[in-house]
Structure 1
Amino acid sequence: MTVIVRTLSPTDPADAEGFARVRRACLPAMLATPASVAYDAARAHPDAHYRPLVAVDDAGTVIGTAQVGIAYDSPRPGQGYANVYVHPDHVGRGGGTLLLRTAEAHLAQHGATEVFCWALDGPRNLAWAAARGYRRSRSAHFLRLELTADALPPMPAPPSGVALRTAADFAADPRPLFAVFAQTVADEPSDIVAELRDYEQWLTDTWRNPLLDQGLTSVAVVDGVPAAFSLAQTDGDGRYWSGMTGTARAFRGRGLAKLAKNDSLHRARAAGVSVAYTGNDADNAPMLAINEWFGYTLDATEVRHVRTLDS
């Protein structure tokens, strides 16, 4: 079987469907739909040099994917990423290696000196990354919660001075949500530190993304000011992803993130969502504790890897 690697065409429905299908087979927690795949490919920031790749077999079937780009919003230059996934039915045929080498060449061309990638925790995947010159870094856990009738803790009344809203309530001006989102991103543990300063790009990447569910995204407001949020993404097929949960620095330590996430999950269950996913850095003890309290269980673990590119 011959495998070729090429850039995904955002205007080709078969490419977008194949990309989403492979991602769902490899990592169900990370939501992807044909619409979201095409959207991301068409609207990425130009400085990201984002290039989604597909590995295609003789029959024209997409059997592997790679999300490739430059971390342009990091204060440290030269950091690229290449997240490669091959459909479980097609591993061992060279598609993953071809995707990775194509990604590395693209990133080097655009100034990357380091490439970060994720590998699902398991002997085969970890050995694969090591054999291609990648060394282990930090880990992240994907968690799953079945939204059955009795799955969630009761929803308490908000404390005095706190009100619960949804992102839809900020449709006319989402900038106050961006401020909380940016603080959360800046303080999140990661190998690649991000600084969100571009409001317009945030609107493109997050606010207008087809996966965002404004009605299920909950916001805790204190005296009229957004203090905490739990961003919800849904795929229209009963799955929910906590895109991010966080609190503005001035309001931390008051349980507002837990309150917002509880409200969002209750809304999701009432809307017919059947399973909720979330993800946390393995060192993010506060959020891991919150998710354990909700009843989430481990679904998968990925290990971040990094390779310094040859000059």
Structure 2
Amino acid sequence: MTEIRVRDLRTADPEDTAAYAAVRRAAVPALLATAASVAYSCEHAHPDARYRALVAEADGEVVGTAQVGIAQDSPEPGQGFLNIYVHPRRCGLGAGSLLARTAEEYLAHEGATALYSWVLDTPRNRAFAARRGYRASRTAHFLRLDLARGGLPPLADPPPGVELRSAADFRDDPRPLFALDAETAADEPGDVTAEFTDYAHWLTETWRHPLLDHELTTVAVVDGEPAAFTLAHTDGASRYASGMTGTARAHRGRGLAKLAKNASLHRARAAGFAEAFTGNDSENGPMVAINQWFGYETYDTEVRHVRTIA
């Protein structure tokens, strides 16, 4: 009989973080995960997030993972999250159930009143969530673009008064990018509203994250101020992912986000990256249109589920 146990990830153990990342990549290939990025995210999580990374072991082998915590950047308290992934070849052992139970008990102890979870859009996964009392909410898609063999729209010159820069140009003072990220994140569709007010934590969580590529991250600047941007994440090998793309409210409708993302994708392809991934909330019409224009195709789908608890 297979023995399943759940424990905290050993963030100081490169083999453990590598095993965690491998399960994440196998379950959701569109998500970039490396041993270094997993360890960094755990070690630099905001203390108010009460973040835990859990692993499920089957006879000593890591077969499942869970990201668990409180959305500390939400103005509404008690918004918990748990995202659980089990290796596709190791489903049916009970690892997911034990991870969910452990995460739910922990979040209830930490004062969560609502539990949000992204669930892969398959009959098995949706049934798993329904059995635990979760109801389906919104849908999001993972999109993929073949950079190696696919085409990209031709590069266009920026309109008068607009300049394209990289995030590397803001290394001495990235605060203007923080302000732009905060404004655009506040307008993203979602179940849990986010308000970025902690600049120091943004520097740690976003600006210094090991997946962020400052050279490929591209910013459209108008009159010296960032007006639109696309954050570029890479795995250091062949895969590129858009971490966030957005435009300041005062500059929307001018095609600046499309301009920045196109420049970033062209430079990513020139640097040897073969695949580009991004995520799209199904209700975010402007970004859906932009990504269709680039030629992204739906790669996978997740459904946000929620459960309220006393």
TM-score, L = length of structure 2: 0.98
Letter in 1 for 2:147: L
Structure-2 residue corresponding to 1:307 = 307
Counterpart of 2:72 in structure 1 is: 72
2:52 is aligned to: 51
Distance (Å, rounded) in 1 between the aligned partners of 2:121 and 2:114: 21
How far apart in 2 are the matches of 1:70 and 1:247?
27
Is the 8 Å Cα contact of residues 115 and 306 (structure 2) preserved in structure 1? yes
Counterpart for residue 161 of structure 2: 161
Could you tell me how far apart the structure 1 residues matched to 2:284 and 2:277 are?
Answer: 16
Which residue in the other structure is 1:203 paired with?
Answer: 203
Asked if 1:7 is matched to 2:8, the reply is yes
Alpha-carbon separation, structure 1, partners of 2:95 and 2:33: 20
Q: Distance in 1 between matches of 2:56 and 2:14?
A: 16
Cα displacement string for residues 193-215 of structure 1 (whole angstroms, at most 9, x for unaligned residues) = 00000000001110000000000
**Deviation by residue 1:236-280 (Cα, 9 ceiling, x = unmatched):** 120011000001111111100000000110110010000000001
CA contact (8 A) 2:148 2:273 kept: no
Structure 1: 5+ residue stretches without partners: none
- Please give the secondary structure, in 2, of the residue aligned with 1:18: helix
1:279 paired residue number: 279
Which string of whole-angstrom CA distances, capped at 9 and with x for unpartnered residues, describes residues 117-139 of structure 1? 01111111111110111100000
Alignment of 1:245 with 2:245, yes or no, is yes
For the pair 1:28 / 2:29, whether they are aligned, the reply is yes
User: Which position in structure 1 is the counterpart of 2:128?
Assistant: 128
8 Å contact from structure 2 (residues 17, 38) kept in 1: yes
SS at match of 1:280: strand
Q: Secondary structure at the match of 2:172?
A: coil
Q: Is the 8 A contact 2:217 2:232 kept in 1?
A: yes
Query: Per the alignment, in what secondary structure is the counterpart of residue 272 of structure 1?
Result: coil
* Structure 2: distance between partners of 1:4 and 1:15: 15
Give the ranges of 4+ consecutive aligned residues of structure 1 lying more than 3 Å apart after TM superposition.
none
1:258 is aligned to 258
One-letter code aligned to 1:84 = I
Determine the C-alpha separation between the residues in 2 that align with 1:118 and 1:244: 18
1:139-187 alpha-carbon deviations (Å, 9 max, x no partner): 0011000003551000000000001000000011100000110011000
- Within 1, Cα distance between the matches of 2:150 and 2:186? 35
2: CA distance between counterparts of 1:149 and 1:4? Answer: 43
CA-based RMSD: 0.8
Q: Which amino acid in 2 is paired with 1:47?
A: D
Runs (5+) with no aligned partner, structure 2? none
Deviations along 1:28-62, one digit per CA (max 9) or x if unpaired, are 1111100000001111000000000000121x221
Alignment partner of 1:30: what SS?
Answer: coil
Cα separation, 1, equivalents of 2:237 and 2:96: 28
Question: Distance between the aligned counterparts of 1:150 and 1:115, measured in 2?
Answer: 39
Give the secondary structure class of the aligned counterpart of 1:112.
coil
Instruction: Give matches, 1:87-106, under 5 Å.
Output: 87-106=87-106
Following the alignment from structure 1 to structure 2, what is the Cα–Cα distance between the partners of residues 148 and 118?
Answer: 30
Measure, in 2, the Cα distance between the counterparts of 1:208 and 1:79.
Answer: 26
AA partner of residue 44 (structure 1): A
Q: Which amino acid aligns with 2:20?
A: F
Measure the CA separation in 2 of the matches of 1:41 and 1:20.
12
- CA distance in 2: counterparts of 1:287 and 1:94, whole angstroms: 38
How far is the alpha carbon of 1:12 from its aligned partner?
1.1
Q: Hey, what does 1:83 align to over in structure 2?
A: 83
1:147 aligns with 2:119: no
